[in-house]
Structure 1
């Protein structure tokens, strides 16, 4: 899930796009975990345009801001250390990035030529300068199974869920006072320095997916084991409301661009919940079959694509009528998805 609109998406939003031509301007890229491929799909015709080989345990995919490359994380239960790089124009795999001791890359965000990622096996977050392929920042989280993450547009805040610790981490990039030695006065000439301050917020059990409201005021995280949503006020960094969805296994959440609705998927029941954000109440529940996971909304806001990983297909939901349009297959166990420029 990303926090920025890419140039090609912004261009789409500047003109009306009817349901019959909503595919114009972009391509769906989606992972088949069993086939170990990144699949390129025309989202209007659902034609498969090509496939690129990825690693042995692909989970998430993110497209660079310029639309040239796709990055695929391979988690390996916290043991793998590979992020695949795919050239989108040619649909070919390039040299992968070795994350080294930053084991278990999973959730990712892309911002300003930097690829951010969670490292589940290292209890940390990392940032890669894609121009050099080198990790230039590591933030120690100290929580178990740091899973999904986002970065604010100004890079002043980083957000992450920690599934097995039942927490959310918010990192603030702050101007910190000069260091003070254990004994004696501050060092002569010592100056304030930028530093990252982490706030760890306890939430419900199994905090996995999350999203931030478009006004940047609230963070909603899905608590898979309790079927609740923990609503965090970002300014105070406190849980201000717990919403009981009465649906276990909720794993992903995505707000519509206008901030009025939230889509919530359940990997256990296969339900897609549509919530009124202001009222924090359910509008509708759709059963999509076996296990609903990753959620991706078209840039024109008319449809949602939901990876139904156990069922082996991707479901398309009309967001105007809140009805299932159809299911289609890209390969066994579809998972992470993103938008790339039209091919």
Structure 2
């Protein structure tokens, strides 16, 4: 029987919420968007212990459920690159329909969904067995980020240019509903109902230092939360790329939502389901993405402007380490190998 690997892209995975960190091999997989390598961090030592090389302008990352391979989007070549998880060598380049951004993998590992940000926009569907593109789902506007909901039933794709959330039925691989937003859609996260179905989408939008809340069943925005406002002298206003707030994730135990602010150089912690602001921690420059450890105790923040990853103690609301990585680190994931 093959060993299985679970990936935590900031979504709720209750089965791993109580898994002791020392009982598993955990790796933080960190892309470097202005470099040509992807780095693996050991959270036990907070050091870089591995490197996937020769992937120019790497963007999104995901891991196969059986732990056999990593999927990385290659922006320079507009390909989905596959790397062997043991050797960390790139073994395959899959051509895509246009310029890619982020990635998501179906719960059974049979499909890989690639966000195509290049016009006119699409979600490319990759067959994992044959390692070929099976189809392309057209969208209105290029797709920045794509996710599989915690129950595995839907693929959710957000468009910046199209200002729209696209919800795709995973079984049919067809768009079943869309939601127009005030501005372009940036990162998203999802919480769940008691039966495991999707309850809410938390979505960051272009030009807004905060996030909106979408009721999944009602298919509408029901609230908008602005992050704390700092004095003008403390705000970062340059190089925000239209997204003052970029990056949010839900802890595996489902109790905490962490939200990044590039403008404030901070990560904010909110309680779930109440969305009460619990506290904050200052991190590196231009924090862009984050991922939790399986025990929900720490969050790893990719600092695109500092070329580092901040390690934040969630309960203590403080940065406890900062790890040097490659050039302009953005997307990161947590891979757990039993």
TM-score after normalising by structure 2: 0.83
For residue 133 of structure 1, what is the aligned residue in structure 2? 131
Other-structure match for 2:252: 257
Aligned to 1:221: 203
Residue-by-residue CA offset, 1:136-182 (whole Å, 9 max, x unaligned) = 23211112x311111236653221111123221122368xxxxxxxx
**RMSD across aligned positions (CA):** 2.5
Q: Take 1:246 and 1:164, find their aligned partners in 2: how far apart are those partners?
A: 27
Deviations 1:84-107 (A, max 9, x none): 1111111211121111xx211111
Correspondence for 2:92: 95
Among 100, 103, 109, the alignment partner of 1:105 is 100
Task: Call closer, same or farther: CA 1:331–1:278 in 2, change over 3 Å.
Answer: same
CA distance in 2, matches of 1:330, 1:283: 29
Which has the higher Rg, Structure 1 or Structure 2?
A: 1
How far apart are 1:3 and its partner, in Å? 5.0
Q: 1:47 is matched with which residue? A: 47
Distance in 1 of aligned mates of 2:276 and 2:295: 25
- Give the distance between the partners of 1:150 and 1:124, measured in 2 at CA: 13
Shift of 1:14: 5.4
CA distance in 2, matches of 1:57, 1:13: 33
CA offsets 1:169-209 (integer angstroms, 9 cap, x no match): 122368xxxxxxxxxxxxxxxxxxx5724422122423200
Aligned to 2:304: 309
Q: Distance in 1 between matches of 2:271 and 2:150?
A: 25
CA apart distance, 1:212: 0.6
Query: Match of 2:189?
Result: 211
Post-superposition offset of 1:318: 0.8
| 8 A Cα contact 1:38 1:52, kept in partner | yes
Structure 2: 5+ residue stretches without partners = 1-8, 230-242
Distance 2:173 2:286 in 1: 41
- Partners in 2 of 1:253 and 1:94 — Cα distance? 31
CA contact (8 A) 1:54 1:84 kept: no
Counterpart of 1:189 in structure 2 is none
* Equivalent in 321, 325, 328 of residue 330 of structure 1: 325
Check whether the contact 1:3–1:151 (CA below 8 A) recurs between aligned residues: no
The aligned counterpart of 2:261 is 266
Equivalent pairs counted in the alignment come to: 310
Q: Distance in 2 between matches of 1:173 and 1:72?
A: 21
Shift of 1:304: 0.4
In structure 2, the CA distance between the partners of 1:59 and 1:338, relative to structure 1 (3 Å rule), is: same
- Please show how residues 4-43 of structure 1 align to structure 2 within 5 Å: 13=17, 15-17=19-21, 21=22, 24-43=24-43
**SS of match in other structure, 1:170:** strand
Aligned equivalent of 1:74:
74
Task: Indicate conservation of the 8 Å contact 2:281/2:312, yes or no.
Answer: no
| Aligned residue in 2 for 1:151 | 148
Distance 2:209 2:53 in 1: 35
Q: Give the direction of change, closer, same or farther, for the CA distance of 1:198–1:55 in structure 2 (3 Å limit).
A: same
Report the CA distance shift for 1:29/1:126 in structure 2 as closer, same or farther (over 3 A): same
Provide the residue aligned with 1:61 in structure 2. Answer: 61
Unaligned runs of 5+ in 1: 175-193
Deviations 1:201-229 (A, max 9, x none): 12242320000113320001012302231
TM-score by length of 1: 0.82
